[in-house]
């Protein structure tokens, strides 16, 4: 009986779920687990994020080609539908799903991780690595991270939104070669994707469309502002509002400028620190003790 972690990620949907997967797998410690990634490139570099073994599966329906009936899986994807959920809960002896949907309903034969739901078989919380709570010196006043995916180059088309706001740009992992050069005129400095940890932890304020980056920056003692993209689900807005994180909808320069001007006096709630409790929930339900 083997343990798998499936994550839906890629150049068109971003790496937020993958970053969360790496956090959870690291929190489990020395556990024999295989990451199944919908993106082959991510599978090939997973070891750099503390994941010992990863396999690309292309599409979710390919999971049974690797996993056997009776295996166990942690499933992080919005690709699920009622028929697939029935099939998955029958196929796997333990099926643990991660959902960010505030309107989620738990299947009777699954376990669920959610920032909103409570009850039997549910862990209410978020996954943020404990390392982010070790506050670092803030050497960047304002940074901007759109995300790892911008296949349509929406940021370049709306670059004027950020001109004059004194933001330093953190590039995404999947950006096309030279894309950052198109944005130089709207940002005061450019950081490549390898500087992700340093920029997220080392900025006083972070404007971002990455929900995972919002939580990591808040944990590191920063003041995040969430930019809700039109092509992203709005699942995280209730969570962010409960943490008093400002939410800007779309490329609204006046609203963003106002939020930045009020940022110093704005009071944030603390980021939930629950990776140890999450690891305990998973180990108990996966019989890893």
User: Residues 181, 246: one domain?
Assistant: yes
pLDDT greater than 80 at residue 55:
yes
Q: Are the C-beta atoms of residues 133 and 220 closer than 8 Å to each other?
A: yes
User: Residues 261, 177: one domain?
Assistant: yes
Confidence (pLDDT) at 151: 83
Averaged over 173-189, what is the pLDDT? 85
> pLDDT tier at 133 (50, 70, 90 boundaries)?
very high
For the segment 236-269, what is each residue's pLDDT rounded down to a tens digit? 999 999 999 999 999 999 999 999 999 889 999 9
For the segment 13-49, what is each residue's pLDDT rounded down to a tens digit? 889 999 999 999 999 998 999 999 988 888 888 888 8
> pLDDT tier at 162 (50, 70, 90 boundaries)?
very high
User: Residues 10, 34: one domain?
Assistant: yes
Cβ neighbours of residue 76 closer than 8 Å, sequence gap 6 or more: 5, 6, 7, 8, 17, 20, 21, 97, 98
Q: Are the C-beta atoms of residues 195 and 104 closer than 8 Å to each other?
A: no
Confidence (pLDDT) at 243: 98
Q: How far is CA 176 from CA 30, 104, 152, 154, 192, in A?
A: 35, 35, 10, 13, 12
How do the residues of the chain divide into helix, strand and coil, expressed in percent and rounded to 5?
Answer: 35, 20, 45
User: Residues 41, 87: one domain?
Assistant: yes
Confidence (pLDDT) at 2: 96
User: Residues 136, 261: one domain?
Assistant: yes
Structure-block tokens of residue 180: 């950052």
DSSP per-residue string spanning 24-43: HHHHH-S---EEEES-HHHH
pTM of the complete model: 0.95
More confident residue, 49 or 187: 187
- Which secondary-structure segment (H or E) carries 154? helix 154-157
Averaged over 75-88, what is the pLDDT? 94
Averaged over 98-110, what is the pLDDT? 96
Averaged over 272-276, what is the pLDDT? 93
> pLDDT tier at 170 (50, 70, 90 boundaries)?
very high
> pLDDT tier at 182 (50, 70, 90 boundaries)?
confident
Confidence (pLDDT) at 8: 95
User: Residues 161, 137: one domain?
Assistant: yes
CATH code for position 260: 3.40.50.2000
User: Residues 93, 142: one domain?
Assistant: no
Asked which of 11-20, 65-74, 110-119 is least confident by mean pLDDT, the reply is 11-20
Domain extent, residue 233, equals 131-265
pLDDT greater than 80 at residue 109:
yes
User: Residues 148, 49: one domain?
Assistant: no
Confidence (pLDDT) at 157: 93
> pLDDT tier at 275 (50, 70, 90 boundaries)?
very high
- Which secondary-structure segment (H or E) carries 97? strand 94-98
Average pLDDT, the chain: 94
User: Residues 196, 147: one domain?
Assistant: yes
User: Residues 88, 118: one domain?
Assistant: yes
CA 164 to chain centroid, in Å, comes to 28
pLDDT greater than 80 at residue 176:
no
User: Residues 158, 100: one domain?
Assistant: no
User: Residues 176, 220: one domain?
Assistant: yes
Confidence (pLDDT) at 12: 80
Q: How many domains does the chain have?
A: 2
């Amino acid at each position: 009986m083997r343990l798998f972690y499936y994550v839906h990620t890629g150049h068109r949907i971003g790496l937020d779920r993958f970053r969360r997967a790496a956090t959870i797998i690291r929190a489990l410690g020395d556990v024999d687990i295989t990451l199944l990634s919908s993106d082959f490139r991510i599978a090939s570099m997973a070891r750099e994020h503390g994941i010992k073994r990863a396999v690309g599966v292309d599409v979710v329906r390919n999971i049974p080609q690797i996993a056997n009936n009776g295996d166990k899986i942690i499933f992080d994807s919005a690709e699920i539908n009622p028929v697939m959920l029935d099939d998955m809960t029958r196929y796997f002896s333990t099926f643990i799903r991660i959902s960010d949907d505030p309107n989620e309903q738990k299947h009777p034969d699954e376990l669920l991780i959610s920032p909103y739901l409570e009850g039997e078989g549910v862990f209410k919380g978020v996954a943020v690595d404990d390392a982010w709570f070790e506050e670092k010196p803030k050497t960047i006043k304002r940074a901007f991270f759109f995300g790892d995916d911008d296949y349509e180059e929406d940021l370049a088309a709306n670059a004027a939104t950020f001109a004059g706001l004194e933001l330093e740009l953190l590039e995404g992992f999947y950006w096309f070669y030279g894309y950052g050069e198109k944005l130089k005129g709207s940002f005061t400095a450019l950081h490549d994707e390898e500087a992700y940890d340093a920029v997220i932890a080392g900025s006083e304020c972070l404007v971002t469309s990455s929900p995972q980056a919002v939580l990591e920056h808040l944990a590191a003692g920063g003041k995040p502002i969430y930019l809700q993209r039109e092509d992203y689900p709005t699942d995280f807005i209730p969570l962010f509002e409960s943490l008093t994180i400002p939410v800007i909808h779309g490329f609204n320069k006046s609203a963003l400028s106002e939020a930045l001007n009020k940022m110093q006096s704005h009071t944030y709630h603390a980021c939930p620190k629950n990776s140890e409790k999450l690891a305990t929930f998973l180990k108990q339900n996966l019989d890893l003790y």
